């Protein structure tokens, strides 16, 4: 059953105050009491998992064809390197759940190796539902999720097919029927990206289990 206070998940940290998907951005979200941190990951050519939204840096190099050392030469901002997942794990140290979105193609096993030994709570999700299915086959104990940009059809069947328990719809797609269907299947509804207090209250009243937004201070439900 959903809690009366949905989990507050920081979408790529606090991107309105610090560059998204950076250690500073995630630290600010932790300081504001985020229950979870949502982040995007890719794998480098030498197998390092890095935290970044796009497949390429703004300065040009593609992550998948670059080594970590090469990427480090292209700062996201002056003095701000692209972070590795290991660095983020060390920063968080179990203080919030890591909600990791798989972006890079075929990185399932590399990601799981990078998370091996981390004691904090982790959940994985992706728009690529096939990738989530493959992760489930590798380790069925993982908490998995599927993302949606359009209204999900037969959501319970999609959950069963992929092994996912978390359903991530865009916040505009959330309805009472969707929440009921996901809950009936034993899952959670986590809408993104919620940046308005009024919308946060409406979604909470519908029974969502978490709210993912750019500023966790806007996601407090009194």
CB-count exposure of residue 222 (10 Å: 0-12, 13-18, 19+): exposed
Average pLDDT, the chain: 96
pLDDT in tens, 138-173: 999 999 999 999 999 999 999 999 999 999 999 999
Share of the chain above pLDDT 70, in %: 98
CA distance 33 to 179: 25
Report pLDDT for 195. 97
Question: Could you give the angle at which helices 85-92 and 23-31 cross, rounded to 10 degrees?
Answer: 20
Question: Could you give the angle at which helices 108-115 and 129-138 cross, rounded to 10 degrees?
Answer: 50
The CATH number corresponding to 7-219 among 2.40.10.10, 3.30.530.20, 3.20.20.190, 2.40.50.320 equals 3.20.20.190
**Dihedral angle of Cα 59, 64, 67, 72, to the nearest 10 degrees:** 30
> Token digits for 12?
């790529």
Report pLDDT for 60. 77
Over 80: is that where the pLDDT of 41 sits?
Answer: yes
pLDDT in tens, 93-139: 999 999 999 999 999 999 999 999 999 999 999 999 999 999 999 99
Give the residue-averaged pLDDT of 174-187. 98
CA distance 136 to 50: 22
Report pLDDT for 50. 98
Report pLDDT for 2. 46
Report pLDDT for 222. 78
Over 90: is that where the pLDDT of 59 sits?
Answer: no
Could you state, in order of their start, the residue ranges of all structural domains in the chain? 7-219
Share of the chain above pLDDT 90, in %: 94
Over 60: is that where the pLDDT of 174 sits?
Answer: yes
Confidence label for 1 from pLDDT (cuts 50, 70 and 90)? very low
Report pLDDT for 218. 95
> Token digits for 50?
């890095």
Confidence label for 212 from pLDDT (cuts 50, 70 and 90)? very high
């Amino acid at each position: 059953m959903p809690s009366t206070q949905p989990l507050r998940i920081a979408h790529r940290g606090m991107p309105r105050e610090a560059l998204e998907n950076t250690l500073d951005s995630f630290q600010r979200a932790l300081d504001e009491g985020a229950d979870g941190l949502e982040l995007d990951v890719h794998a480098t050519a030498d197998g390092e998992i890095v935290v970044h939204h796009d497949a390429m840096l703004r300065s040009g190099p593609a992550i998948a064809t670059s080594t970590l050392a090469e990427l480090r030469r292209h700062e996201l901002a002056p003095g701000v390197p692209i972070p590795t997942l290991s660095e983020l794990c060390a920063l968080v140290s179990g203080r919030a759940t890591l909600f990791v979105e798989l972006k890079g193609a075929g990185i399932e096993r590399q990601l799981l190796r990078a998370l091996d030994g981390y004691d904090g709570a982790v959940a994985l999700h992706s728009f690529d539902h096939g990738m989530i299915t493959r992760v489930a086959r590798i380790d069925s104990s993982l908490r998995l999720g599927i993302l949606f940009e359009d209204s999900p059809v037969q959501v319970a069947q999609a959950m069963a097919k992929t092994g996912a328990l978390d359903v991530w719809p865009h916040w505009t797609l959330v309805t009472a029927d969707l929440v009921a269907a996901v809950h009936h299947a034993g899952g959670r509804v986590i809408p993104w990206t919620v940046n308005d207090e009024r919308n946060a209250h409406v979604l909470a009243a519908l029974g969502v289990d978490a709210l993912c937004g750019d500023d966790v201070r806007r996601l407090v439900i009194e």
